[in-house]
Amino acid sequence: MIDTGFDSNALYSGYPYRCVAISKPADGIILKKIEYTFRTPKRCYKVIVEEYPYQVFVLKFHLCNHKGSPHKYHIQTDDQDAPRVIATCCLILLKEIKFKYKLASFGFIGANTILPAKEIKQKSLTSVQKKRLERRLETSENTRRFRIYARLSKRVFNPDDYLHIEDVLNSSYLILNRLNKEPDLVEKVAQMFEEYYLRDEPDNLPSSAKVR
């Protein structure tokens, strides 16, 4: 389990956060949207938790000053602070959602990194810079974020209590609560997740998905 001590400077400790807004969208499939913020030594982050039918919660986060950007979920900071940022997001899921909603399930998309055009076009790169650029040029398949989130999900959400469904092709991940006895929960949530996030004409379960 990750260290979640607020007063600790450990690599995987989280930052203090606060809830800043709770809203209910007037239309669409989202039942509730809860917004949090937290600060690192260099940045301000916004975390958005969306509630969907069947007590499914999807967490997203981005830099506060990128709120209006269409690429806000794809930008990488290079602050070398990812462990504590991700740990803070896990804290929110564990303390604010999992603790309060006993049947809660979770899902996420590991967005691919999009680089600024000036960085892509930069010339006279050193070998180190070239390798760094190659690592950060991603498609939507098996992204770096997806791999990190998937590893952490298995540590935080015990497979004995949660069914893990990973779709490497789309870098999507579902964590379904085994206490939820909704009939055909896997098919219903997978279809909803695909319809809202991945495809215009979803299948019942992605052919690329693996249930663990």
Sign of the dihedral defined by the CA atoms of residues 153, 154, 157, 160, in that order: positive
Domain boundaries, the chain: 17-211
Residue 58, SS3 per DSSP:
strand
Tell me what pLDDT residue 206 has: 45
Neighbours of 38 (CB within 10 A): 22
Tell me what pLDDT residue 120 has: 47
**pTM beyond cutoff 0.85:** no
Residue 3, SS3 per DSSP:
coil
Structure tokens at 102: 């006993």
Residue 192, SS3 per DSSP:
helix
List, for residues 71-124, the tens digit of each pLDDT value. 888 887 878 888 889 889 989 999 999 999 999 999 999 988 876 554 445 555
Give me the amino acid identity at 134.
E
Is residue 163's pLDDT more than 90? yes
